Amino acid sequence: MSVTTPSPAADTSPQESRGYKYRWMVMAVVIVADVMDLLDATIANLAGPSIRADLGGSESTLQWVLAAYTLAFAIGLVISARAGDIVGRRRMFIIGMAGFTLASLLSGLAPTAGALIAFRVLQGAFGAVMIPQGLAMVKQSFHPDDLQKAFIPFGPIMGLAAVLGPILAGFLIDADLFGSGWRMIFLINIPVGVVGTVLAVKYLPQVPRERDKKLDVTGSVLLALASALLIYPLVQGREHDWPAWCFVMMAASAVVFAGFVLSERRSTHPVIERSLFRNRGFVAGVVFLASFFVAMNGVMLIVNLFIQLGLGFTPMHTGLAMTPLALGLAVGAATSGAALGPKFGRKVLHGGLLVIGVGMVGLWLTIDHFGTSATGWDLAPALFVTGLGSGAIFAPLFDIILADLGDHEVGTGSGVLNASQQFSGALGVAIIGTIFFQWLPTDGWADSTKGIVWVSLACYAVSFLVAFLLPKEAREGAELA
């Protein structure tokens, strides 16, 4: 039996309150959801080798454990934001969190690698149902003048989760609690998800539905199909020695995507607002996101594999070795978001990419010098600098890309950018992972990883050039739109 909470307007007034009675509880539930998503999108990276050792599977299993989640999340984001307007954001959030919790249980109990990948798809899909609704309910719950204050704890908590996530994952895997091994990184979501679902049912506000909006089912199906037709052959093609069907599928992806574009032009309720792609800065921003996150997610996968399998580190020691990267991300994001981004605009993106370049060259030199004898301390400076540059880009990126959009376009634009980020991450795992595993048998761990550094630098160079097409200044408060 569901508990219906009153709408903010029903129990608040300008004189008596600054917003919905349980507004801070709403923020707490949304933070729990975002931390769960952040951890499950990243810590499975660390668990990949342990999963493969336990369940078997090929090298592509390591890629699919990550790509299955991010691909499903990306596709779901495009659809679920609109569905929240139609079905109701409170209902969608509760369905998403309960489904995410169930998918975590299934992932933790998966008997085979194929089953785990299927359950990771479910996790990503339910995560996409859950995450977009939270921001809308936070906006509804707080007085507009208090929104910036409300989000003050959000950044530090997410930054702390990014730093502690790999360490926690490594500890859980090495501790082998109750003989669970890697499974505990998913099972730990169960109590958190159950409590979060109960709190969501009890405290989340009712956000008015927009009954005049409709979901473009045809466009949604075409977008999902085009994405799957591209990612699947990129991951599986190498193992099958690139048979003809791989290239047929990739060609079919282009055709289906063209069909999606035509469908969007004719639809009265398009999945993506058509006016967005008439804005040069926004289109450039999507390209920036694509090249940047292809490089970043791909490199994170390869560095993790190099440390854990190439250097022979345990999962716990791998998590500790990756901590400088996460710490750099947190420091860079905090510094850029608070001071640099609002003052320097897109110059921060160029500066961040140059810092990343220094970090990546440092990583290449470190591996070239120490090879597979490198220690965590040897890798730490390069990883920290790389994280520092990446974090500096994260904080102002969306505000800069959205700067030239109209107020009515910002919400949809943010959703598209989030989906593009997730899809590009899946693409990076597919492309860079495939290149790495193609080189590994002949070049070995050190030289293959060094080669990936140059591939990533090429992607970052594309982002550097495209950044000149972005708006010069950031949009104030775009993240709250």
Residue range 310-346, pLDDT digits in tens: 999 999 999 899 999 989 988 888 887 666 767 777 8
The CATH number covering residue 336 comes to 1.20.1250.20
d(C-alpha 110, C-alpha 96), whole Å: 20
d(C-alpha 241, C-alpha 247), whole Å: 12
d(C-alpha 66, C-alpha 266), whole Å: 35
d(C-alpha 457, C-alpha 67), whole Å: 22
Residue 293 forms part of a structural domain: yes
Residue 264 forms part of a structural domain: yes
Partners of 378 in beta bridges:
none
Contact 133, 197 (CB under 8 A): no
Claim to verify: residue 197 and residue 333 sit in the same structural domain: no
Task: Classify burial at 372, counting beta carbons within 10 Å of its beta carbon; exposed 0-12, middle 13-18, buried 19 or more.
Answer: middle
Residue ending a domain, among 206, 232, 248, is: 206
Task: Classify burial at 78, counting beta carbons within 10 Å of its beta carbon; exposed 0-12, middle 13-18, buried 19 or more.
Answer: buried
d(C-alpha 110, C-alpha 375), whole Å: 34
- Looking up tokens 């970043």 gives 296
Claim to verify: residue 23 and residue 104 sit in the same structural domain: yes
Claim to verify: residue 224 and residue 200 sit in the same structural domain: no
Per-residue pLDDT of the chain in tens (481 residues, 90 and over written 9) = 333 333 343 343 333 456 778 888 888 898 888 888 888 877 788 888 899 889 988 888 888 988 899 889 888 887 887 777 778 888 999 999 999 999 999 999 999 999 999 999 999 999 989 988 887 788 778 877 776 677 666 766 776 777 778 888 888 898 888 888 899 999 999 999 999 999 999 998 877 666 666 778 888 889 889 988 999 999 888 888 899 999 999 999 999 999 998 988 888 778 777 778 888 888 999 999 999 999 998 999 999 999 999 999 999 999 899 999 989 988 888 887 666 767 777 899 999 999 999 999 999 999 999 999 999 999 999 999 999 999 889 878 888 888 888 766 776 777 788 888 888 988 999 999 999 999 999 999 999 999 999 999 999 999 999 999 998 887 654 443 3
Claim to verify: residue 155 and residue 298 sit in the same structural domain: no
Query: Which residues lie closer than 8 Å to 122 by C-beta, 6 or more apart?
Result: 72, 99, 102, 103, 106
Phi, psi (degrees; rounded to nearest 5) at 129 = -65, -35
Claim to verify: residue 261 and residue 310 sit in the same structural domain: no
Residue 251 forms part of a structural domain: yes
d(C-alpha 161, C-alpha 9), whole Å: 34
Claim to verify: residue 144 and residue 237 sit in the same structural domain: no
Residue 211 forms part of a structural domain: no
Q: What is the pLDDT of residue 398?
A: 82
d(C-alpha 310, C-alpha 374), whole Å: 10
Collapsing DSSP to helix, strand or coil, 470 comes out as coil
> How is residue 400 written in tokens?
């800069």
Could you report the per-residue pLDDT of 7-36, keeping only the tens digit for each? 343 343 333 456 778 888 888 898 888 888
Contact 212, 201 (CB under 8 A): no
- Looking up tokens 């093609």 gives 237
d(C-alpha 289, C-alpha 291), whole Å: 6
Claim to verify: residue 329 and residue 308 sit in the same structural domain: yes
Phi, psi (degrees; rounded to nearest 5) at 259 = -65, -35
- Looking up tokens 């600098």 gives 385
Q: In which domain, by residue range, is 259 found?
A: 216-268
Claim to verify: residue 294 and residue 256 sit in the same structural domain: no
Residue 92 forms part of a structural domain: yes
d(C-alpha 53, C-alpha 66), whole Å: 16
Claim to verify: residue 232 and residue 296 sit in the same structural domain: no
Q: What is the pLDDT of residue 422?
A: 85
> How is residue 136 written in tokens?
């809308």
CA distances from residue 79 to 59, 110, 128, 130 in whole angstroms, order as listed: 31, 27, 9, 12
- Looking up tokens 């804005």 gives 279
Residue ending a domain, among 224, 250, 268, is: 268
Residue ending a domain, among 206, 225, 255, is: 206
Q: What is the pLDDT of residue 95?
A: 94
Of 310, 317, 323, 322, which Cα lies nearest the Cα of 373? 310
Partners of 142 in beta bridges:
19
Claim to verify: residue 183 and residue 288 sit in the same structural domain: no
Claim to verify: residue 83 and residue 19 sit in the same structural domain: yes
Of 47, 67, 43, which Cα lies nearest the Cα of 55? 47
Collapsing DSSP to helix, strand or coil, 36 comes out as helix
* C-beta neighbour count of 145 within 10 angstroms: 9
> How is residue 383 written in tokens?
């990883």
Residue 107 forms part of a structural domain: yes
* C-beta neighbour count of 175 within 10 angstroms: 13
**Count of domains forming the chain:** 3
Claim to verify: residue 251 and residue 190 sit in the same structural domain: no
* C-beta neighbour count of 266 within 10 angstroms: 10
Residue 189 forms part of a structural domain: yes
